[in-house]
Structure 1
Amino acid sequence: MNTNPRGSGNERLRVLVVDDEPLARRGLELRLAAHGDVDIVGQYGDGLSAIAGLGQHRPDLVFLDVQMPGIDGFETLRRVPASEMPMVVFVTAFDHYAIRAFEASAIDYLLKPVDEGRLAQALSRARQARSEQQAGSHCAHLLGLLGELSGKPPLKLDEALRPDALEQLRREDRLAVRDGQRTIRVDLRSIRWIDAAGDYMCIHVDGDGGQARTLVLRATMRNLERQLDPRRFPRIHRSTIVNASRIIETRPHTNGECFLLLDCGQELKLSRSFRDRLPALG
């Protein structure tokens, strides 16, 4: 059923779809076909191609996957000239802390698998923003999002377009993790190590008086990996991430494995398959 039939007199909405999963792109294409005023002008599976497509097609609206290999959604946006910045609806498989920022700073966000009702709502918001001539200010909203993600005030335009802007965000001093209805913000310097326990993550941090404290959150290793700088927080085992600055000693083990001693006295195993994550031990 067309929610906005062709020929209704409304200005058409030129849309770009960016997602590294072909099935996700196809699913969104089929759902968008039900909206008669929407023209999909391009589909891309990676950030670099999407950047070229943005310059070529100059769409009104982009459905942008946040988690993509290589250049993720945020890095893709950083490389788009401010004068060419379209309206953006973020698409994500993870209902984590950034959702709050999406709600505040983007046109909308969609969780995978995409719900038809939520898609219709996102399109409605985009149409309204354009009709109220708010699309031109959307670049400022996205800059505000970058600031929100870092826990700092919104970046200015010249700051956000600096080559090292994304890198600066990854050097921030807090990790925000969505746990059910709450958001936990953790001082990165206090993290000793993180390990997985089934569907939960255990974040071991410094407590009062030097005592250990463990935060148990419903999250995934993959989710946390994507939020942390891999140079500061390398994955050393399929179920373990360590704060590299807390390592004070290494001890060889069998079959190319090592034991890492942390400054808190905890000893962790470095798996051979993850040895290259700590170049100093290569």
Structure 2
Amino acid sequence: MYQDCRCGIVVAVTDQRREELASFLRSRRERIAPEEVGLPRGRRRRTPGLRREEVSQLAAIGTTWYTWLEQGRDIQVSAEVLDAIARTLRLDQSEREHLFALAGAIDPSPAAAFTPVTDALRDLLDQLEPLPACVQNGRYDLLAYNRPFSKLMCDLDAVPPEDRNVIWLGFLNEQWKATLPDLEQTQRAMVAKFRASMVENLDDPTWKALLKRLQAASPEFAEYWDDHEVLRPGNQLKVYHHPQAGVLRLSATSLWTQPGSNRPRLVTYTPVDEETREKLHLLTGPPPLVTV
């Protein structure tokens, strides 16, 4: 049992609660494709989603310990272990609270650490058109974007969701790379920013999985990573060579949705000259006709 600090209630972890915890963990594990965390699917995979040993590996906990959890064994689980499991299984805030409640533990991370892409934020992205705009998290995953951004560097809608990451695209997507006039300099800056951001997430299995996946897929990334360069993200001039619109000069501005450099941020791209401003409609087609 544990003492709930918010209301003083003592909660016992009963057999029924442990069984529910076991079922919940299995359901969350089975919904994650191996490719989403940088693991090969393989031909002999019978389990939908991740295997138990893969979850334990990504969460840096013992396979036997995690197996006992999924079997509903009567064991004590620390908040640190639950935190690692929640991150590995990519639980949202409601699921995370459910996990800690079932395990009879107090969540050490505040709810403010989780920022979903709200309907209001998605509506703001649409309202920013024709300016390209997106929402990124600290790991440079693209959480949401508007139509102009979806066509700025490649056809993002055609990219698998697990590959919608700025660094992955900057090294592995040929269309994305073709828009960058100084590819090596841009890639080096990406790696330096990723390393600077990762210092606050060294124990996060999702960050470690992305790093491992990038190192395995791109020799260039692996080489630049070994240089140990660091660079903090900031607002800057971006130049792209778009196949239809030509040269686009844009100023990138980041607005964090919550305090902290690793929180999700809204990134907008505004033209720095009139020529670029006039070309922006080419990203999504001609503007609609206005009838009087």
Whether TM-score is above 0.5 comes out as no
Greater relative contact order (CA < 8 Å, ≥ 6 in sequence): 2
* Structure showing the higher helix proportion among its residues: 2
Q: What is the TM-score when the length of structure 1 is the normalising length?
A: 0.27
